[in-house]
Structure 1
Amino acid sequence: MQINRLFEIVYSLLNKKTLTAKELSERLEVSVRTIYRDIETLSCAGIPVYMRKGKGGGISLLENFVLNKTVLSDTEQNEILTALQTLNVINYPNVDLVISKLGALFNKSNYNWIDVDFSHWGSKDQGSFNLLKTAIVKTRVISFDYFSSYGEKTIRTIEPLQLLFKDKAWYLKSFCLSKQAHRTFKLTRMKNVVISEIVFKRKLPLELVNETTREIKYNESNLKLRLNPCVAYRVYDEFDENEIVKNADGSFEVSVTYPENEWVYGYILSFGSFAEVIEPKHIKDIVIERLEETLKQYKK
């Protein structure tokens, strides 16, 4: 118990800089006399702790003192704190306390430089992300309804292996028990996720660790769009700089290669009257056809 209390005193002083014996005694639930004995023990052990009397006085450590028992370099300490900071996004238990303690032990005050939030604006719902994280960590089989890019619904039972973020979307690498093969699923198409009590032992094969998603393959088209200046915010959010040419009238021409499917037609239509397909012609014709079909719906 004394060793734990001594460590807690050092941590508290690293974090708060100066504390009175009374404050420490209340925090550690021991007498003031015990605190004085602990301070003497720390001093004999070589910890540079000292006491100041009078107003503003208290117990302190020498400035710039850092526990030097760690074998981690300054860069490694920063990397650890950054990694822990990103765990806040999945509501990892007690991570704030761990970050605070390590920040004090490493004598770092600027570790809180990153914030990640998977929820939509105006919402704190992170959907199935936390559920999937739990299933992966606890190696539990899950089942869910899955909707393909064609809108077909299937019921899947899988062993979840790894979450992957790729091109503005989250995916789940897994072993599908019904297909008896590794499969990658897009999180937004997974509905009604349920964690079972079945534990699996399978690991993600090394050759799939850094593999990108393998969804249905489509023919790719080189698409050229003319976009109105009023959607400039989308142009710079959704396209790379080398894909954009700004015209003298303020409009934009965007050249991009996309898989040709219903998604790309819907994506073009999402710009409304602010987008025009320059090429290829067959995609332009398809978009016109979609617009005419939409107009018919309102003329009934």
Structure 2
Amino acid sequence: MKLERLISMIYMLLNNEVISTSALADKYQVSQRTIYRDIDTICAAGIPVVSYQGANGGYGIMESYKMDRSLLGSYDVDTLVTILNSLGTVFTDEQASETIRKLQTIQRDTSGPSLTLDIGSRRASTDSLRMLRTAIKTKRLVSFEYISMKNERVHRDVEPVCLMYKNQNWYLYGYCRLRRDYREFRLNRMTELAVQDMTYHSDHALPVQERKEYSARTDLSFQVVLRFSTQALAKALDFFHDADKQFGVDGSMTVRLKFGSARSEWLQPILLSFGSHVDVVEPPELKRQLRSTIEKMLRHHSDPHTAPYEESS
């Protein structure tokens, strides 16, 4: 639409000292004659466009007319540009690009960002994010197969509300028609994602962002103490960076974790991935559980007649 092109062109002119007619024509996929008419329209609206002659000529806006740079602090502008640029690696969003161009007109420091942010995903996840965002904007039902924490594969029909990025993972928040309640779905556990033609008309509220800490509502009485060798320090910190840590004279690291339950099914696979570079100091029952799991694995892989995924007794 012409109005959208004119608004976008104004910000292009604000963001560049001089920009040529051919560059504007290529940008908006119109003829140079159309650009001349657009420039006349912008001038008629009271915006002082200046014409520059010569090989490097083109159009620009009088410097005195440009936005007051004191409107936002340089830190605010840099941070907003960084966030929007990061979103641009996931979503093809012309509105975000336009906002970046607006902010760059008042960006003071052009030496380079002091902050970078990468929230990109694998290609498959990126495609899913774009599909889900489209479904949210158009209020269309989405369907997918979902693997739950119990390793159950269940078909879900969901009215999508919003996408959330937390704990280095993307989630879909929406109303699940199967459970008849709001749920969060982790994207990497979705398969066969599809956006349906069916629209929904409910006005769903966004999720409540303010949540109580787990420690405030749970008695953290179950303690695990682990000792990691020097060969596993980096990996251990990746998994347990929030735990209490103590380094030994030999370079090993001891971490203390507290939970509200003695159930450790989620912890076992993590500890097994460390191989011989972790020692369970306490509790002894966790050490026994790990030993039992390793023995089952050995029996499973040593018996050529064991069926795939058969649980050894």
Give the TM-score range, shorter chain.
Answer: 0.7 to 0.9
Q: CA deviation at 1:83?
A: 4.5
| Identical positions, percent | 23
Q: CA deviation at 1:223?
A: 1.5
Whether contact under 8 Å (1:227, 1:274) holds in the other structure is yes
Q: Which moved more, 1:106-115 or 1:153-162?
A: 106-115
Whether contact under 8 Å (2:125, 2:188) holds in the other structure is no
Superposition map of 1:75-224 within 5 A: 75=73, 80-95=80-95, 97-99=97-99, 101-107=101-107, 109=110, 113-120=115-122, 124-126=123-125, 128-205=128-205, 208-211=208-211, 221-224=222-225
Whether contact under 8 Å (2:159, 2:176) holds in the other structure is yes
Instruction: Find the residue that maps to 2:155 and give its secondary structure.
Output: strand
1:220–1:164 CA distance, 2 compared to 1 (3 A)? farther
Q: Which moved more, 1:83-92 or 1:195-204?
A: 83-92
1:295 aligns with 2:298: yes
- Provide the C-alpha distance between the structure 1 equivalents of 2:159 and 2:97, rounded to a whole number of angstroms: 32
* 1:234-279 deviation per Cα after TM superposition (whole angstroms, max 9, x unaligned): 1232222652211111111111235624221111111111111111
State TM-score, norm by structure 1.
0.73
Whether contact under 8 Å (2:86, 2:120) holds in the other structure is no
Q: CA deviation at 1:171?
A: 2.9
- Provide the C-alpha distance between the structure 2 equivalents of 1:185 and 1:22, rounded to a whole number of angstroms: 47
State TM-score, norm by structure 2.
0.71
Whether contact under 8 Å (1:173, 1:183) holds in the other structure is yes
Q: CA deviation at 1:60?
A: 5.6
Whether contact under 8 Å (2:77, 2:107) holds in the other structure is no
Q: Which residue of 2 aligns with 1:279?
A: 282
1:231–1:197 CA distance, 2 compared to 1 (3 A)? same
Whether contact under 8 Å (1:66, 1:107) holds in the other structure is no
Which segments of 5 or more consecutive residues in structure 1 lack a partner in the other structure? none
Q: What's the C-alpha RMSD, in Å, of the aligned pairs? A: 4.3
Q: Which residue of 2 aligns with 1:227?
A: 228
1:273–1:197 CA distance, 2 compared to 1 (3 A)? same
Which segments of 5 or more consecutive residues in structure 2 lack a partner in the other structure? 304-313
- Provide the C-alpha distance between the structure 1 equivalents of 2:256 and 2:83, rounded to a whole number of angstroms: 37
Q: CA deviation at 1:7?
A: 6.9
- Provide the C-alpha distance between the structure 1 equivalents of 2:135 and 2:49, rounded to a whole number of angstroms: 46
Aligned-partner residue type, residue 302 of structure 2 = K
Instruction: Find the residue that maps to 2:300 and give its secondary structure.
Output: helix
Instruction: Find the residue that maps to 2:178 and give its secondary structure.
Output: coil
Q: Which residue of 2 aligns with 1:247?
A: 248
